[in-house]
Amino acid sequence: MNPPTPPPGELSRRDALKAATAAVAGLSAGAVPALAQLPPAMAEPDFKVRNRRIRQSIMGWTFDPMPVPELARLCKDIGLVAIEGVGREHYPMIRELGLEISLVGSHGFAKGPCNRAYHAEVIAALREGIDVAVKARCGKVITFTGMKAAGLGEAEMADNCVAAWKQVIGYAEEKQVTLCLEHLNSRDGTHPMKGHPGYFGDHVDFCAELVKRVGSPRFKLLFDIYHVAIMDGDVIRRLRQHRDIIGHVHTAGVPGRGELDDTQEVNYPAVMRALLETGYNGFVAQEFIPTWPDKALALRHAAKVCDV
């Protein structure tokens, strides 16, 4: 499968994951098995979503190199209702299967609005993402703060972010598309997609304040449970605290960004129940990087864990 070309200036999640995979491939043969986890006995090879109270999606980059059509058919069989994080050329096929596009990409997490040098690029990418979302009948477009800009203080970078988003939020409101700001952990430097040292918006409460400063119902928080657990903890209390501004949710096992299994520390059924109690009815996208030998089983298990 030839991966799609990311928007200009975007650090592709897919490319980062491939680089990490190549690094793993270079390890000695004896080291590789230790990186994988075996599925727990409770994993159900034929599991299908039953309760459907959580609208589950998947961030497709995590399942590379599985071809997107194969992943889409797997999601449909399991009972997931949407996909994100795949090439836009796949959108028509995904819609034909009866699945939704849960989130559209934009400018990437490296070059962000905290640095005014990237404002024109970021604004253009967000406007273009909004147009793509409208065409794909998707209501959400992702945005990021970007990496910290050398020589700038926190207050100035925060002001820069808000100034850039305010230049595009009117267009989002006109098109009825919501921009979702994702916070990313800056603690984990072991893998290019497990953490992002140097990322400006690394605390969820800080990003929530940026959302409130933009002051639009079309600007929301992307609450990534994995990143919150690593940087801030107290996940359920923070879900409740930010309930009014959460526009999208991501999952992954903590630590390690692996499966939602018994090797990780987040109690996902409890978190999902708390999420429902807040009144949230948006998408919850699985964004774990599979380590089990059977990736399809890993996705079925994650779907089961979140199907509360």
Find the helix or strand (DSSP H, E) in which 101 lies.
strand 100-101
The pLDDT of residue 36 is 58
Tokens 């949710």 sit at which residue? 249
Which domains, and CATH codes, for the chain? 53-299 (3.20.20.150)
Enter the pTM of the model. 0.89
Cα distance between the two ends of the chain: 35
Cα gap 211→69, rounded to integer Å: 35
Cα gap 207→183, rounded to integer Å: 6
Cα gap 47→74, rounded to integer Å: 11
Q: C-alpha distances in angstroms, 145 versus 160, 231, 307?
A: 9, 16, 32
For residue 147, the SS3 value is: strand
The pLDDT of residue 222 is 98
To the nearest 10 degrees (0 to 180), the angle between helices 154-175 and 204-214 is: 50
Tokens 């999420």 sit at which residue? 275
Token reading at 113:
């609005």
Q: Which residues of the chain have pLDDT under 50?
A: 1-12, 14, 16-35
Amino acid (one-letter) located at 102: S
Beta bridge partners of 143: 181
Token reading at 270:
């409890």
